[in-house]
Structure 1
Amino acid sequence: MNKLPILLVALGLLLLQACDTLDVYEKMAFFPQHEWKSSQKPNFRFQIEDTVSTYNIYVVIRHEDAYRYNNIWLNVTTQAPFDTARKQMLNLILANNAKGWLGVGMGDVFDHRILITRHPVKLKKGNYVFTLQQAMREDPLPYVLNAGIRVEKTKP
């Protein structure tokens, strides 16, 4: 009797049980030419219902190994329910000289999930809109595949 299929099913169930995902929202914009023009300002819309929990908010960047910089400057605009839009310029570090790329790599593609809230935040009930705009000197910015937003509930 072959025990491999039983072992694989058991391992799969164990992994599913271990994945206690707390993500609320994650979406990425794709740049077809692998370059991000400053005129491209992807919007990310999501709704919050749970106002008891706290959340971490991340910017997600995917780029090729040929990306020429250790960082990326972004204008991030946040429209929260019943508030005026808030714009902030962020310098997101993608690499350092000692370790290389700080994200997770597969082949020549690297993913970065960078926390943009200093600590978990409470969010109001309602609709949120995040807008990302690259603010680098090089325009269009080559070797950028995707940019996005990820919102996660913090663990109690």
Structure 2
Amino acid sequence: ADTVLLLPADTSLHDNDSLVNAALKVALRHSNAYLYSNIWLELTYHIDNHRFVRDTLDIRLADVYGRWLGSGFGASYQREVTVSPAAVVDITRPVALRHIMRVDTLQGIEQVGIEVVR
């Protein structure tokens, strides 16, 4: 699986401009073509120059009856989950996100993103 690198802020910031106690969220947009009720993701972000956090996420996209949990209309749904309500994130470094499903190519995944909220 390919890794998506997302930069949450301007790279001209200094190391001491890292956010402390920020909510870290992952958003995912998918269509009806997605075959599974969940998605496994690996999220990696830096705390500082020498330390990083790697998290494994199991994001539920559908309930036990197969109804999509995300908001949206038509054939596209968006699901947003809070990974950590109080994370220390160095916003000058990219956040890495990749799926760790058992298949290489996931049909129906349209967009993925992160949000760092003070």
TM-score range, shorter chain: 0.7 to 0.9
Q: Distance in 1 between matches of 2:61 and 2:42?
A: 16
Moved more, 95-104 or 66-75: 95-104
1:113 maps onto 2:80 in alignment: yes
Residue type at the aligned position of 1:71: N
- Structure 2 vs 1, CA of residues 121 and 42 (structure 1 numbering), >3 Å: closer, same or farther? same
How far is the alpha carbon of 1:123 from its aligned partner? Answer: 3.1
Q: Distance in 2 between matches of 1:66 and 1:124?
A: 33
| Aligned residue-pair number | 112
What TM-score do the two structures reach when normalised by structure 1? 0.62
1:76 maps onto 2:43 in alignment: yes
Pick one of 51, 65, 88 that aligns with 1:123.
Answer: 88
Pick one of 134, 138, 142 that aligns with 2:103.
Answer: 138
Residue type at the aligned position of 2:72: G
Larger helix proportion, structure 1 or 2?
A: 1
Which of structures 1 and 2 has the bigger CA Rg? 1
Unaligned runs of 5+ in 1: 1-37
| Equivalent residue number for residue 64 of structure 1 | 31
Larger relative contact order (Cα-Cα within 8 Å, sequence gap ≥ 6): 2
What TM-score do the two structures reach when normalised by structure 2? 0.80
Pick one of 38, 44, 54 that aligns with 1:87.
Answer: 54
- Structure 2 vs 1, CA of residues 57 and 126 (structure 1 numbering), >3 Å: closer, same or farther? closer
Q: % of aligned pairs identical?
A: 25
Q: Distance in 2 between matches of 1:89 and 1:109?
A: 25
Q: Distance in 2 between matches of 1:64 and 1:104?
A: 12
Unaligned runs of 5+ in 2: none
Coordinate RMSD, CA, aligned: 2.3
